[in-house]
């Protein structure tokens, strides 16, 4: 048997060294989609009692919502120009085939006979990591 040439040996070492390891080629399964209860909890935390905090406004909304806000004279996250006195989040619905979930958000203004409410729909992508507000559609 002929000894392996130095050049061929170096080539084989280079090829095997460049090959990905088994750990590097392991494919991880995508994270499971958000559930309706997770979306409801996220929106309740996001909106709080009077609207989202500046931190949430900066870190927990989609780029599309940021762009929408830049071109609007009102607060697109609240569908209003003022801060509501109270906010309630309805139960979320998920549409796995569409990859989205949504819930109705009700804002309360004033009290007594002057009281009024408004509603809008908040949308979340089921695969967003971390969970973020993807869009808001105002009712009126």
Q: The pTM is what?
A: 0.77
The pLDDT of residue 112 is 84
Q: Quick one: average pLDDT of 121-127?
A: 97
Q: Quick one: average pLDDT of 58-66?
A: 96
In tens, the pLDDT along 4-61 reads 555 544 544 444 455 555 555 567 777 789 999 999 999 999 999 999 999 999 999 9
Burial class of residue 111 in the structure, from the number of CB atoms within 10 Å of its CB (0-12 exposed, 13-18 middle, 19+ buried): exposed
**Domains in the chain: boundaries:** 32-138
The pLDDT of residue 32 is 86
Q: Where are the beta strands (DSSP E) in 50-112?
A: 86-89, 93-95, 100-109
- Fold of domain 32-138: Nuclear Transport Factor 2; Chain: A, (3.10.450)
- The half-sphere exposure of 20 on its side-chain side, counting CA atoms within 13 A, is 6
Give residue 135's pLDDT band: very low, low, confident or very high (50, 70, 90): very high
- Whole-angstrom Cα distance, residue 8 to residue 62? 54
Q: Quick one: average pLDDT of 68-84?
A: 94
In tens, the pLDDT along 82-117 reads 999 999 999 999 999 999 999 999 999 988 888 999
């Amino acid at each position: 048997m002929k000894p392996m040439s130095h050049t061929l040996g170096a080539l084989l070492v280079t090829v095997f060294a460049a090959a990905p390891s088994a750990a590097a080629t392991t494919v991880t399964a995508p994270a499971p989609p958000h559930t309706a209860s997770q979306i409801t909890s996220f929106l309740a935390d996001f909106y709080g009692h009077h609207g989202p905090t500046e931190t949430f406004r900066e870190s927990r909304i989609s780029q599309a919502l940021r762009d929408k806000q830049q071109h609007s004279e009102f607060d697109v996250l609240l569908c209003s120009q003022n801060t509501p006195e109270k906010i309630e989040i309805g139960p979320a619905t998920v549409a796995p085939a569409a990859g989205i979930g949504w819930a109705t958000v009700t804002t309360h203004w004033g009290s007594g006979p002057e009281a009024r409410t408004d509603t809008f729909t908040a949308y979340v992508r089921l695969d967003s990591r971390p969970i973020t507000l993807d869009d808001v559609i105002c009712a009126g």
